[in-house]
Every structure is written in C-alpha cells, then in structure tokens.
Amino acid sequence: MQPVIELDGLEVRFGQRVILNKLSAALTGVSIGLLGPNGAGKSTLINTLLGFHKPASGTARVLGRDIRTHAREVRGLVGYMPESDSFIAPMSGVRFVRMMAELSGLPREQALERAHEAFFYAGLGEVRYRPLGTYSLGMKQAAKLASAIAHGPKLLFLDEPTNGLDPPARTRMIQLIQDIRDRGDLRLILSSHLLRDVEECCDQVLILKDGNIAAFCNLEEERRANLRFLELETRGANNGNFLAAIDRLGCQTATGAQGRIKLILPDGIEVRQLYEIAAGQDVQIRRLSHKRDSLEDIFLKAMEVPNGRL
C-alpha cells in the first residue's frame, strides 16, 4: 500500500525552538491518528504538511508528493478541518463552503451543488442558509467538516474534530468520520489528544511527545491481538478445577480477587470452548470482556519514554 505520509527526517523550528525533531515514519493506514499531549507537535505537523511552516531540514511526502517541491499539488489533494473556529461570520454556511470549493478549483455550478451535498451530509441541511456566526459550536464543527470535504479531497486532515462538543454532537461527529473512513474513498489523518476519538476512528496511530515520535503502532493489529486477551468474572463451585482445565487448553492465566481471571487464548482456541469447560465444571461465567485499554496502555507507555524519543 502506498504510504499516505512519509516523514523523512522532518525537522521544524520556530526560531531556536525545535518543534518537530527529525521525524521519520511511513504512515500507510486508511485512518491515521496523531496522538499526543497538548504541545506535542500534532498541529504543527499538520500545518507543515499543508505548507504553512517550512521544514528546517528533512522533508515529508503526502500521497507521494514532496511538500517542499509540490506544496500546491499537495494542498490540491487534501481537505483540512482546523482546530480553531475558522469561517467568515456574516457569510451563510453554504456560500462559504461554495467559495472554499471554488478556491480548490471546482467550477461554480459544481461547487454550489457539492456545498449543498456536503451540508446535508454533515447534518446541517436545514441551517445552510444561516450566517455562520449564528451556528452553535457543534454546528460550526460540522460546517468545518463540510468545508473540508466539499471539493472531494483524497486525504482529510482533521485537527481535534470533537473539541468542545457535547456527547450527542461528539457521537454524531465520530459517526461521520467513521462513515467517511468506511467508504474508503479518502484517507484520514485525525489529530487529537482524546484517546477515545483516535481509538474509535483510526487503524494506525502515531504518538508524539515533545516533538518526537514516542510510539507508532497499528491499532488493527493491536485489536486483533487484544481479541485473544480476555478478562472473566466467574461464580461457582470450583475455580481451581476450572483454571486447571483452561490451562490444559494452553491458555496463560492469572487470577484476581472475587473470581476474576485474566487469560490469553492461544491460536486455534475459541471462546465457546471456555463456556463448555465452565459448564462442565459448574462454573458460571458472569462476564467476559476483551482487553479494552490497549491504546491507553500504549499511550501511557509512550509518555514514559524519556524526551519522547522512541
């Protein structure tokens, strides 16, 4: 698969301050999360890929185009949803998005049609003629998304898309992002400091800390691995026999308080077999959950790395 983004020793400085420190990575996922605490360099990385900041050294390629030599071409391929409020308050939503689509090169009629489509898609169909300044925070975020996708980009940069949203608006935004991701028409780069957003939307994650790459992992693989990691809550007559039986299946186990058991299923063993053994041992499995905190573990481990260096 062609990398969406290749970072090749990318260094960005603001004056004497190093903001991105010689980053090197090849991001190939369909939906890539940029994770890190505030000030880690996530927005700077996106801004650099968009050509807003000049690299001090190294370079990066977006969909195979070098940002140093093909910046304009790169910007023609991407849609950008910035973190802060970005619009012209007195303009109606659809007029603003139409103007932005025209600036991306769409002819007038197509820009108008796609601005309407993007507004309906983002769930703002009924308010598209209202001035942007009168929108609620959730509507403004959705309008930014509409403006980012109206011209049909190949790659979408989403910078903190759920910032300040209430739970229903956040859910709606995440659903939209997942829908865009699942269509497979375009790739996503989602920058966030919220683990949950990244976990729900991304299949690959790059964790930044102090301008360095602190971790880079494939969430899909992690999820697949975590499917083998189970936590059981049991009630019943003889947990010792039950444990011995599942050990014989080849599982690695560890017991906790109140009948809790953590185990790793070896390949070829199905969850159904655990229930069969439990039934045979007169043990009730009250709860069975897959490991859920994988990204949090990865993130916390990454934050422990000194200077954020991988």
Partner 1 sequence: MAVYKKTYRPYEGSLTPSWSRLFVITRYAFEDLRRSKFLNTFYSLSFAYPLICALLIYVSHNTSALRVLGAQNAAGIITINLTFFFNLLGWQSMLALFLAAFIGPGQVSPDLANNALSLYLARPFSRVEYVLGKMSVLMVLMSLMTWVPGLMLFGLQAYLEGGGWAQDNARIAWGFFFGSWVWIVLLSLLALALSAWVKWKPAAGALVFGVFFVAAAFGATINGVQRTNWGHLFNIGYLVGSVWVQLMEGATRTTNGAVFFRVPMGEELPIGWCWFGLFLLAAACLYMLAHKIRGAEVVR
Interface of this chain with partner 1, residues 149 to 208, rule: CB under 8 A: 149, 151-152, 154, 157, 179-180, 183, 185-186
Binding partner 1 (rule: CB under 8 A), the pick from 36, 41, 82, 93 is 82
In 3D space, the residue among 132, 127, 125 whose CA is nearest the CA of residue 91 turns out to be 132
How do strand 31-35 and strand 187-192 relate by DSSP bridges? parallel
Q: Does residue 116 touch partner 1 according to CB under 8 A? A: yes
The values of phi and psi at residue 107, to 5°, are -65, 160
Minimum distance of partner 1 from residue 143's CB (angstroms): 11
Determine contact, residues 97/136, Cβ cutoff 8 Å: no
Closest-CA residue to 207 (of 146, 298, 129): 298
Radius of gyration of the chain from its Cα atoms, rounded to whole angstroms: 24
Q: Single out the segment in contact with partner 1 by CB under 8 A; choices: 72-80, 218-226, 237-245, 250-258.
A: 72-80
**Under rule CB under 8 A, residue 86 binds partner 1:** yes
- Residue 76 touching partner 1 (CB under 8 A): yes
Q: Rounded to an integer, what distance in angstroms lies between the CA atom of residue 210 and that of residue 46?
A: 15
Q: Which stretch binds partner 1 (CB under 8 A): 44-52, 207-215, 223-231, 290-298?
A: 44-52
Residues in Cβ contact with 305 at an 8 Å cutoff, skipping those fewer than 6 apart: 209, 214, 215
Residues forming the site for partner 1 (CB under 8 A):
14-15, 17, 43, 47, 50-53, 72-73, 75-76, 78, 80, 82, 84-90, 95, 99-100, 102-107, 110, 113-114, 116-118, 120-121, 125, 147, 149, 151-152, 154, 157, 179-180, 183, 185-186
